[in-house]
Amino acid sequence: MSLISESLSWPDSSSHSTLGAIRPGERHNYVAFFLTMACNLHCYYCINLHDGGSRKNMLKRQMTADEWILAANRLELRADLPLTLQGGEPTLSNSFVRLVNEAKPELRCDLMTNLTFDVDSFIANVPVWRFLRDAPYAPIRVSYHPGQNDIDELVGNYFRLVEAGFRVGIYGILHPDEEIRRHILETQERCLKLGVDFRTKEFLGEWNGTLYGEFKYPGAVLGKPFRSCRCRTSELIVDPAGWVYKCHADLFQGRDPFAHILDPDLDADAIDEFRACSFYGDCNPCDIKVKTNRFQQFGHTTVDVLDIEGERE
């Protein structure tokens, strides 16, 4: 199916009453609404700014709360596939509170946050059940950024949320810089002793001239000149304006969306299409990284790439 790529335009609101269901299949691993790209922190390594990405593009047009609710209500997700709310800092979105209160009750959400929000207001306005599900990790995942958010405040907020019934985890990145890495590991040890679910994530990308991470496709990250290929994602990722992209690099750059989340013709089959790309080399490390999928099979990547220009058999 070629979908709407020839004539991408903002769907007419008259079509909202005809929106069909989007039912991700077994190979679809992630559904995320990037509610806003705005963030109150300024991490120099922010992945949203990967290779020239800019928040300015994303601040121009945002879907309204009514539109996000419509979009969420189209989703028919498996029990093991939540709708992840992220950004930027998703709680800064004006739509966040209405979305988590008014979307259909069977929808479960995960939240990626820096946990600098007003915890009292969050507890008063956000339903706990929306963020509860059976998963080996916490549905509310907090990123700790040394020098940006304060770990003692995070731990205080963590316990207040947990006491209110939320499941929360804090994550620190094992940065290649020895001092930062040591700090993260010491912080993890301290947090674990306090009973805080603190986990670490590997650093992906370039640091001091070295590329960190295990990537399936050579030259896909930081490879210039860019090459053409065909690419297929396993994710449904939606930017603040509602555009749907084939990868995170496209989303963060605001380039080449292939659909709009409120387009009546969009269905889960559209995710499975291989699409032409001219930016092989600018791939986001998260999309190309080799990982274990939810069936515990190693070797999975978020995207599959074919027909890379200049590649020998």
Question: Among 301, 313, 253, which residue's Cα sits nearest to residue 277?
Answer: 253
The nearest distance, CB 1 to ligand SF4, in angstroms, is: 18
Helices (H), the chain: 55-58, 65-74, 96-102, 119-125, 151-163, 178-194, 248-253, 285-288
Nearest distance in Å: CB 198, ligand SF4: 17
What DSSP designation does 101 have? H
In the region spanning residues 44 to 63, those forming contacts with ligand SF4, defined by CB under 6 A, are 46, 48
Q: Is 229 in the site for ligand SF4 (CB under 6 A)?
A: yes
Which tokens hold the place of 300? 């999975």
Which of 291, 297, 295, 288 is closest to 246 using CA atoms?
288
Is residue 22 within 8 Å of residue 75, measured between CB atoms? yes
Site for ligand SF4 in 264-303 (CB under 6 A): 277, 279-280, 282-283, 287, 303
Shortest reach from residue 12's CB to ligand SF4, in Å: 28
Asked whether position 38 contacts ligand SF4 by CB under 6 A, the answer is no
Q: Which is nearer to ligand SF4, 73 or 228 (CB)?
A: 228
Side chain identity, residue 235:
E
Choose the stretch contacting ligand SF4; rule: CB under 6 A; options: 37-45, 101-109, 128-136, 150-158: 37-45
β-bridge partners, 304:
232
The contact set with ligand SF4 (CB under 6 A) reads: 39, 41-43, 46, 48, 88-89, 114, 143, 145, 220, 229, 231, 246-247, 249-250, 277, 279-280, 282-283, 287, 303, 305
